[in-house]
Amino acid sequence: MDSLSSAAASSQAVQRQVRVQLTSKQEDIALPENTGPILVPTGLRRYALSTLVNNLLGSDKPIPFEFLINGTFLRTSIDEYLTANGISAETTLEVEYVRALIPPLHIASFEHDDWVSSTDILSATSPAASWASSAVSQGQERILSGSYDGLLRVWDMSSQILAVSPAPAEGGHSASIKAAKFVTPNQIASAGLDRTVRLWKYVENDDGFSGKISPQLELFGHKSGINSLAVHAPLNRVLSASNDHTVGFWSTKKSDAPAAPEEALPSKASKSSKRRKLNPSVSTPQRGPLALFSGHTAPVSAAIFDAKDSTVGYSTSWDHTLRTWDLVTSALVDTRTTSHSLLSLEHLPEVHLLATGTSARHITLIDPRVSAATVAAMTLRGHTNAVVTLSRDPHSTYGLISGSHDGTCRIWDIRSTKTDKDGVVGESVYTISRKSLEEEGKADSKRVGGEGVKVFGVSWDKTVGIVSAGEDKRLQINRGEGVLPSKI
């Protein structure tokens, strides 16, 4: 080691040098023995440092690394970093290195008949599989899509449709689906503009090339379209966010659920029943909500379970508030008011933050804990239209992905920041644009209002990658190949 550092020192004797202590929290890329501080020239940037670490590791295939100093990514040379932060070159820098995110590359696009509103992934690493008793085997990953034509589709990775939900006449959704989720590998929840939450039984044939989605339960209670769903399989609970200003709390079990409210059933409305010819062939059990949380004063855009404590739910609404609910007592615990309509929600449990996408084109990170002094911990800026969907990074507790009506998905790392006039704001690490635009040869052209390419749903899984659904009638799968440690 000494020879290496001395060689580096002699070659760049004119430059300043700084002592760095390289560490990593990941076992497989930790340095072989406890190397002491290394003297490196301050002119080095990320790439040079990455080469250095690869040399030290002696790995045959170079792994790109990112370097964290005091919790933020190194984006400049070390020298500039030291100057900007007023750190003396005499001190020893604690530098943590992590695997760099590989630019997610387009893998495949699944074409639909109509706009795709939502998507979910079933894989060995997805929450639905983790909750289930039977693990999903390798190569049996499934992708669920809910579309504006009112149909759910289950795809395998080779872009084959394994199953399609029944038409409205056979107990399917009578209007567009806005949210769809795997509850377990065999159960699907979906909701949409027809004001119902539906639970489906998904059975695959043994050959694994076809399956069947059959209605299991219809949940009535909302008075207006449902925007999003959150499921929690161990508790058999579903949260729904509706335009009627309420958050629905449902049970997936027929036996648990109370009877459906009479007035919400479509058969009660004389006119619509005439028109719609309600399911004559299939009779699905109809149930009502466990509770409808009212408190919001505008359409509720998203509702989720707390990732750690399943008795806590969060919801965001167009009324600018983020509300915390105690699911056991159905009580409103806390209200956080922001200055914009909130359109999406995701929980980052490790850093105790809630990420919420706003109509003002940014993502606000909110600390939901009562002790938190400020409402907005950080703002992530970069989108050019409303941010309507969010998903956690399965690899990192600091990462997330957002989908916006501007037709892009952006990957964020909350440690990647820059200082703006508004303080510290987050920068996106990568931007995924729609493949459909590139295919039309208009990859560079900017669509006004994301016309035709709006992203409605995004989902990120360790195995499958990033799946986004949009107005271009496609599911788009992107994956950074090198990211995956298991090298599928």
Partner 1 sequence: MGASKKRKAVTRDVEEEAGVFSGDELNANDLDGALSDNANDLSDSEDDGSDSEIDLVDEFSDEDEDDEELDSDEVPSDDEDLVKKTKTTATKAVVLDRTSEDQDENSSDDEMPNFRIEKDANGNDRYVYDEINPDDNSDYSEVDENANTIGDIPLSFYDQYPHIGYSINGKKIMRPAKGEALDALLDSIEIPKGWTGLTDPSTGKPLELSQDELELLKKIQLNEIPQEGYNPYEPTVEWFTSKQEVMPLSAAPEPKRRFVPSKHEAKRVMKIVKAIREGRILPYKPPTEDQEADQYVAKYDLWADEAERPDHPMHVPAPKLPPPGYEESYHPPPEYLPDKKERKEWEETDPEDREKDFLANDFGSLRKVPGYETFVKEKFERCLDLYLAPRVRRSKLNIDPESLLPKLPSPEELKPFPTTCATVFRGHKGRVRSLSVDPSGVWLATGGDDGTVRVWELLTGRQLWSVKVSDEEAVNVVRWRPGKEAVVLAAASGDDIFLAVPPIVDPETEKASLELLDAGWGYAAPNPALSAADANKTTTPPQWIRPSSTLTEAGVCAVIPLKYVVKSISWHRRGDYFVTVCPGSSTPASVAISIHTVSKHLTQFPFRRRIKGGGPPQTAHFHPSKPILFVANQRTIRAYDLSRQLLVKILQPGARWISSFDIHPTSSTASGGDNVIIGSYDRRLLWHDVDLSARPYKTLRYHKKAIRAVKFHPGGRYPLFADASDDGSLQIFHGSVTGDMLSNASIVPLKVLKGHKITGELGVLDLDWHPREAWCVSAGADGTCRLWM
Q: Where do contacts with partner 1 occur on this chain (CB under 8 A)?
A: 115, 148, 176, 193, 195, 222-225, 243-244, 263-266, 268-272, 275, 298-299, 318-319, 339-341, 343, 359-361, 384-386, 388, 405, 448-451, 454, 456, 471
Nearer to partner 1, 57 or 278 (CB): 278
Are the beta carbons of 295 and 323 closer than 8 angstroms? yes
Strands 465-470 and 455-461: antiparallel
Nearer to partner 1, 392 or 473 (CB): 473
CB of residue 294 to partner 1, shortest distance in Å = 14
CB of residue 450 to partner 1, shortest distance in Å = 8
Alpha-carbon span 228 to 304, nearest angstrom? 9
Alpha-carbon span 58 to 31, nearest angstrom? 9
CB of residue 225 to partner 1, shortest distance in Å = 8
Alpha-carbon span 264 to 284, nearest angstrom? 15
CB of residue 428 to partner 1, shortest distance in Å = 18
Q: What are phi and psi of 201, to 5 degrees?
A: -100, 125
Nearer to partner 1, 212 or 223 (CB): 223
CB of residue 171 to partner 1, shortest distance in Å = 18
Nearer to partner 1, 252 or 344 (CB): 344
CB of residue 380 to partner 1, shortest distance in Å = 18
CB of residue 385 to partner 1, shortest distance in Å = 5
Nearer to partner 1, 231 or 343 (CB): 343
Quickly tell me which residue has 């719609």 as its tokens: 276
Nearer to partner 1, 73 or 456 (CB): 456
Sheet holding 342-348, edge to edge: 342-348, 353-358, 362-366, 376-381, 423-433, 408-420, 399-404, 387-392
Nearer to partner 1, 212 or 340 (CB): 340
CB of residue 105 to partner 1, shortest distance in Å = 28
CB of residue 268 to partner 1, shortest distance in Å = 6
CB of residue 366 to partner 1, shortest distance in Å = 18
Nearer to partner 1, 360 or 484 (CB): 360
Nearer to partner 1, 14 or 448 (CB): 448
Distances in Å between the Cα of 247 and the Cα atoms of 33, 217, 372 are 54, 19, 24
Are the beta carbons of 248 and 214 closer than 8 angstroms? no
Nearer to partner 1, 256 or 263 (CB): 263
CB of residue 334 to partner 1, shortest distance in Å = 22
Nearer to partner 1, 148 or 412 (CB): 148
Alpha-carbon span 165 to 183, nearest angstrom? 16
Nearer to partner 1, 107 or 175 (CB): 175
Phi-psi region of 237 (alpha: psi -120 to 50; beta: other; left: phi over 0): beta
CB of residue 359 to partner 1, shortest distance in Å = 5
